[in-house]
A and B are shown apart, each in its own frame.
Chain A
């Protein structure tokens, strides 16, 4: 259960998130909205990268707002970035190991977790490849695999489909759908791709100018006239 209560984020005079309140119980939740609506700001508020002017974010009863950003990650908050974060001189496996370093696991457990996650997203064959030699698809998948190791409780995926081909998008859908059954983590998916959201998200929240304008069953939300006006410009 994700509880977002009265979260407000301001950048100078701009109100990026305006008293957003939301309770999410579904396993995979979509977050959509036009450019500048505050989607990434909300993800960054989860991560602790922006200072909240007010409100609280709790997940499974733990108040994330009380934890430092790295403590949130250790608690089980995993995320991907809109601009993929892959280190050129680190191997794919090392990206995942970095996530496990703070978890106090044995070497064998780490190896097993890395193997499992890479296998799950389908890039086991490139585990020793360096970041600089990865293609955009492999970079995305590495970042998603990184989110899966170390017993994640909540995974935030910020536009994971950016720059992927149709076939790769199909694979991404399968991966996202499989995460909760396999790893048990709740997923918050931010994307512009309405088809992707419709395919994988049970419920969806819509932000516009920092305000929550709709939340509920994905199909119902996408048919909502207010959402269409805000999001599709109609």
Chain B
């Protein structure tokens, strides 16, 4: 209670304003595009982190669900004239429902077995995307034509890359806000009880199945929103971007970033999109990023269970007490 405007939240809002105003003045078009992608994947990483931090469950299908959100957004983009923001919300909501449906059979599993099931779900979507591709303005339900893609709409106030970057950042911030609100209200307490033990949660009156599904649905909502934003950012999506293995990488980076705070999700988004772009700019192979990710994961597992975010926040809070 009373933690809505904590120090970390206010710092976050300050950083958001800085990122909205200052960064576009300082960075070129390429880097703004890279940061837009990083923000989109940070939003999705926050979903993976939520499920892992709150319930200890591993979700490796997040990249696949970004693809699902992207697919729905593109499909609706060509089929309807709905406002883009509404379209993003619909894609997010539907992906949340799909995420919860796929989580349903997995609820009795934990640890490695659940991780494997989510990986299989990711593989299923990989096959789906390869077989049917993403809509590009063609005819029929699948909407795929042998031609270059038709225009993917952006909101009128965010037509430019800078405008769309700001639009994405605001979605990301709202996503983090929604997660933050969940953590300090009834769902957060219910998840905490489940985390302690399911027996304890049931004895507290928590409907364990419902709240587990709720976490997966929220995570799916964030992935779907990210996918819809990605479609608008890139103009077209490619099945090769949504391989099952990428879901493992996003989960690993969420752990490296730190699953307990929005700062960790931002770190994960930056590592996933900005680091390879930086290496590319420096003339280094993008594979170097993979080596660094591996080392960072080892570091996180062995010495920093709260990830890079935990280390950053720890440095700020040093000397503080939680009681």
Contacts and interface: CB of A to CB of B under 8 A. Distances in A.
B322 A133 contact: yes
Given A47-B199, A99-B204, A89 B323 contact: no
Nearest to B187: A101
Interface centre among A49, A73, A129, A146 (most CB of B within 10 A): A73
A69 interface: yes
Interface stretch (B92-100, B157-165, B188-196, B214-222): B188-196
A81 B205 contact: no
A47 B193 contact: no
Interface in A91-108: 93-94, 97-99, 101-103
A70 B207 contact: yes
A78 B192 CA distance: 18
Question: Binding site of A, secondary structure by majority: helix, strand, loop or mixed?
Answer: helix
A146 B323 CA distance: 19
B203 interface: yes
Contacts of A133: 322-323
Nearest to B201: A70
A133 B320 CA distance: 14
A89 B196 CA distance: 10
Given A85-B196, A129-B323, A47 B189 contact: no
B193 A87 contact: yes
B1 A93 contact: yes
Contacts of A70: 201-202, 204-208
A97 B207 CA distance: 15
Range class of the B interface residue count:
20 to 34
Given A87-B192, A98-B192, A146 B204 contact: yes
A130 B196 contact: no
Interface string A45-78: 0011100000000000000000001100110001
B280 interface: no
B203 A47 contact: yes
Contacts of B189: 90, 94, 97-98, 101
B150 interface: no
B197 interface: yes
Contact of B192 (A48, A94, A102, A132): A94
A170 interface: no
Contacts of A132: 322
Contacts of B208: 70
Given A89-B192, A93-B1, A98 B322 contact: no
Contact of A130 (B1, B186, B322): B322
A101 B199 contact: no
Contacts of A98: 186, 189-190, 192-193, 204, 206
Interface of A: 47-49, 69-70, 73-74, 78-79, 81, 85-87, 89-90, 93-94, 97-99, 101-103, 126, 128-130, 132-133, 146, 150
Given A70-B201, A98-B204, A103-B205, 9 more contacts: A47-B202, A49-B199, A69-B203, A70-B204, A73-B205, A85-B200, A99-B205, A102-B206, A146-B204
